[in-house]
Amino acid sequence: MNFSEVFKQSNQLCKVSPDGKYLATCVQYRLVIRDINTLQILNLYTCLDQISHMEWSSDSLFILCAMYKRGLVQVWSLEQPDWHCKIDEGSIGLVSSRWSPDGRHILNTTEFHLRITVWSLCTKAVSYIKYPKACQKGLDFSRDGCYMALAERRDCKDYVSIFVCDDWHLLRHFETETQDLSGLEWSPNGSVLAVWESCLEYKILLYSLDGRLLSTYSAYEWSLGVKSVSWSPSSQFLAIGSFDEKVRILNHITWKKVAQFEHPAVIDNTKATVYKEIEKRPTVTSDEMSLHNITVASSLFSTQSKYEISPLPVQIPVVKPDPDRANPKIGVSALAFSSDSRYVATKNDNMATAVWVWDMQKVRLEAVLEQTSSVRCFQWDPRRPRLALCTGNSKLYLWSPGGCVSVQVPAEGGFQVHSLNWHRSGDSLTLIGKDQLCLCYMDTEQDDK
Partner 1 sequence: MFDWMTIHKKLFNKLLFCKMRNLYSPLLRHFSQSSLPLHRNTNVQSAFCTQQNVQECLSHINQEVSSLGLPTVWVELDESSDLNVVTVLNCMYDLIQLHHRSLRTLENIEVEQLKSNSKLDYLQLSTTRLKEQLECSKRENTGLLERERQLQQKVKSLQNCLKNEKEEVQKLQNIIASRATQYNHDMKRKERDLNKLKERLNQLLADKKERKQAIDVLNNIGRADGKRSVWKTEKTEAKHEGEMYKALLSDYDARQRDLVLENAELRKVLQQMKNDMVSLLRLKKLTQNGVQNQCNGTQVEEDGFDPSKELFCVHACEKLTNSLRLQWRRLKSHVEQLDSQGIETVPRESHEEEMDKLKLEVQQCKDLIQTQQHLLQHQLNSSCDEIASLRNDGYMLQEKERLRGEWKTLEEQRSIFDRERKNFTEAAIRLSHERKAFEEDRATWLKHQFLSLSPCGDLKKPLLSDTTGASSTGVCLFLQRPPVDISTSFEICISTGGKNTQMPRSKPAYCGIKCH
Backbone angles phi, psi at 113, to 5 degrees: 55, 45
Stretch that binds partner 1, among 104-112, 274-282, 297-305, 425-433 (CB under 8 A): 104-112
**Distance (Å, rounded) from C-alpha 348 to C-alpha 327?**
14
Backbone angles phi, psi at 166, to 5 degrees: -60, -55
Which residues neighbour 55 within 8 Å (Cβ) at sequence distance 6 or greater?
Answer: 15, 63, 64, 66, 97, 98, 99
Give the one residue of 31, 64, 116, 199 binding partner 1; rule: CB under 8 A. 199
Stretch that binds partner 1, among 81-89, 153-161, 264-272, 305-313 (CB under 8 A): 81-89
Which residues neighbour 368 within 8 Å (Cβ) at sequence distance 6 or greater?
Answer: 267, 272, 273, 274, 275, 314, 316, 354, 355, 356, 357
- Binding of partner 1 at residue 190 (CB under 8 A)? yes
Please count the other Cβ atoms lying within 10 Å of the Cβ belonging to residue 244: 19
Stretch that binds partner 1, among 32-40, 99-107, 405-413, 414-422 (CB under 8 A): 99-107
For residues 125-140, one letter each, b for 16 or more C-beta atoms within 10 angstroms of the residue's C-beta and e for the rest, the string is eeeebebbbebeebbb
Which residues neighbour 324 within 8 Å (Cβ) at sequence distance 6 or greater?
Answer: none
Q: Which is nearer to partner 1, 56 or 356 (by Cβ)?
A: 56
Instruction: Give the bridge partners for 98, in sequence order.
Output: 107
Instruction: Tell the smallest beta-carbon distance from residue 445 to partner 1 (Å).
Output: 36
How many residues bind to partner 1 according to rule CB under 8 A? 55
Instruction: Tell the smallest beta-carbon distance from residue 305 to partner 1 (Å).
Output: 37
Give the one residue of 155, 320, 323, 444 binding partner 1; rule: CB under 8 A. 323
Binding mask 134-173 for partner 1 (x = CB under 8 A): x-----------xx----------------x-xx-x-x--
Q: Which is nearer to partner 1, 22 or 399 (by Cβ)?
A: 22
- Binding of partner 1 at residue 213 (CB under 8 A)? no
- Binding of partner 1 at residue 392 (CB under 8 A)? no
Give the one residue of 253, 254, 281, 295 binding partner 1; rule: CB under 8 A. 253
Instruction: Tell the smallest beta-carbon distance from residue 191 to partner 1 (Å).
Output: 4
C-alpha angle 61-103-210 in degrees, rounded to nearest 5: 155
Please count the other Cβ atoms lying within 10 Å of the Cβ belonging to residue 66: 26
- Binding of partner 1 at residue 361 (CB under 8 A)? no
Backbone angles phi, psi at 112, to 5 degrees: 60, 15
- Binding of partner 1 at residue 103 (CB under 8 A)? yes
Is the CA virtual torsion 29, 33, 39, 41 positive or negative?
negative
- Binding of partner 1 at residue 319 (CB under 8 A)? no
- Binding of partner 1 at residue 96 (CB under 8 A)? no
Q: Which is nearer to partner 1, 35 or 88 (by Cβ)?
A: 88
Stretch that binds partner 1, among 2-10, 56-64, 421-429, 430-438 (CB under 8 A): 56-64
Instruction: Give the bridge partners for 335, in sequence order.
Output: 346
**Exposed/middle/buried for 347, CB within 10 Å: 0-12, 13-18, 19+?**
buried
Stretch that binds partner 1, among 16-24, 55-63, 402-410, 424-432 (CB under 8 A): 55-63
Instruction: Tell the smallest beta-carbon distance from residue 173 to partner 1 (Å).
Output: 13
Please count the other Cβ atoms lying within 10 Å of the Cβ belonging to residue 202: 23
**Distance (Å, rounded) from C-alpha 371 to C-alpha 389?**
10
Give the one residue of 5, 83, 361, 363 binding partner 1; rule: CB under 8 A. 83
Q: Which is nearer to partner 1, 253 or 291 (by Cβ)?
A: 253
| Positions that interact with partner 1 (CB under 8 A) | 58-59, 62, 77, 82-93, 102-104, 111-112, 117, 119, 121-124, 126, 134, 146-147, 164, 166-167, 169, 171, 189-191, 199-200, 208-210, 222-224, 252-253, 323-328
